[in-house]
Amino acid sequence: MTPDRILQLIFGYWATGIVGTAARHSLFTHIEAGVRTPGELATRAGISLRGTQALLDGLVGLDLVEVRDGAYHNGAEASAYLVDGRPTSLSAFAALKLGHVGSIAGLPDAVLAGGPATVPTVEVADNPHWENLVQAIAAQSVPVAAIAAEILRLPEAGDISILDVGGGSGVYSGVWLDLNPRARAVQLDWAPINAIARRLLAERGFGDRFECIDGDLHTADFGTGRFDIAVYSHIAHQEGPEDNMAIFARLRSALRPGGTLVVNDYVVDDDRGGPPFALTFAGEMLLKSRQGGTWRRSDYQEWLAKAGFDEVTFHPTPSPATVIIAR
Ligand SMILES: C[S@@+](CC[C@H](N)C(=O)[O-])C[C@H]1O[C@@H](n2cnc3c(N)ncnc32)[C@H](O)[C@@H]1O
């Protein structure tokens, strides 16, 4: 046994700093385009040579970039997930998370108090946090939306109506309206976020099949018997059990008989023994929300049954989240 892993954990913020900084200066993108040497990369990125070399050393140390005869190449993961402009690129997310490093120093106080010491980030409508987060998180939701579409046979589903609660940048609507040209979607979110989604969906030519309701998901009217599919993605973790249950019941009423609710979130095993990402995410919600957390499979089963859903299935995704299909 050695202390290596413990040291890696203690210095974990180095990784956040190096990956976030490389993403912010588009280093992976330049390397992917064939820029190979520190000097050329420094010029292309408009950063110092000394800084470029330090970043490249860090990226090689983190096993994201390889160096061969003085030429730098992206490893397979960096090439797939850190090059700008690809639908599954996490580079904006990496840059966003670098900005969150300072806030983790508040964890001891949050643990002491049992919640955020200041106003909970997730409960502020006009918090710039959301505008930055929704576009950065979209890359995680793209593959999930594709998997859910497959499970729901969405491309062949014909004239369907979709409700996306807390839809963010409109990522589900974008993927689904593309797969099914007869589908229509309604997104509920805060007004400034809906404005982003409307712009992005219009740019893709879906503006006439996409509507938004501006408001608070705790109180907004979802309607009755109006939708075939409802989505609740990356929201359950910011809410407490009572709110999740109440929202699931309102979503059941908003769905037509036989309609389907798609929940996507970081679900933990019933004995809270795994999986690792979902378990560690609980600290983030302690810092940022009054009652959020990472909820167990049995919590979802209980809440969804109480809300009137008879059949609940869990599906793994390529992201750390699990898709829950409730009918
Ligand atoms: C983590 S993002 C998830 C975005 C998207 N559903 C996804 O999975 O990629 C949470 C979204 O919920 C919205 N949201 C959070 N609390 C809300 C509330 N009380 N009322 C309306 N929207 C809310 C945020 O503005 C943001 O768009």
Model ipTM value: 0.99
Residue bearing the CA closest to ligand 1, atom 26: 168
Q: What would the mean pLDDT of 219-237 be, rounded to a whole number?
A: 97
pLDDT exceeding 70 applies to what percent of the chain?
A: 97
Q: How far apart are CA 303 and CA 126, in angstroms?
A: 29
Q: Spell out the residues 6+ positions from residue 180 whose beta carbon is closer than 8 angstroms to its own.
A: 154, 155, 156, 157, 158, 160
Q: Report how far ligand 1's centroid is from the alpha carbon of 44 (Å).
A: 36
Does 80 lie in the same domain as 119? no
Q: Tell me which residue of 82, 87, 70, 68 sits closest to 25, measured CA to CA.
A: 82
Q: Which amino acid is at 251?
A: L
Q: Which H/E stretch holds residue 284?
A: helix 276-288
- The count of structural domains within the chain is 2
Give the global pTM. Answer: 0.93
- For the chain, the average pLDDT equals 95
Q: What's the token pair of residue 41?
A: 């990369």
Instruction: Write out pLDDT tens, residues 97-132.
Output: 999 899 999 999 999 999 998 766 666 666 677 777
Q: Radius of gyration of the chain from Cα atoms?
A: 21
Does 111 lie in the same domain as 79? no
Q: Which domain holds residue 14?
A: 4-84
Does 80 lie in the same domain as 108? no
Residue bearing the CA closest to ligand 1, atom 4: 168
Does 165 lie in the same domain as 21? no
Atom of ligand 1 nearest to the CA of 218: 19
Bridge partners, residue 227, by sequence: 255
Does 287 lie in the same domain as 139? yes
Model pLDDT, residue 123: 64
Examine residue 94 and state whether it is found in any structural domain, yes or no: no
Q: 148 in ligand 1 pocket by Cβ < 6 Å?
A: no
Q: What's the token pair of residue 85?
A: 């402009």
DSSP letter, residue 267? P
Does 251 lie in the same domain as 124? yes
Model pLDDT, residue 118: 77
Atom of ligand 1 nearest to the CA of 137: 9
Examine residue 306 and state whether it is found in any structural domain, yes or no: yes
Q: Tell me which residue of 212, 207, 266 sits closest to 235, measured CA to CA.
A: 266
Examine residue 92 and state whether it is found in any structural domain, yes or no: no
Instruction: Write out pLDDT tens, residues 279-321.
Output: 999 999 999 999 999 999 999 999 999 999 999 999 999 889 9
Q: What CATH number is associated with residue 171? A: 3.40.50.150
Q: What CATH number is associated with residue 43? A: 1.10.10.10
Q: What would the mean pLDDT of 252-276 be, rounded to a whole number?
A: 97
Atom of ligand 1 nearest to the CA of 167: 6
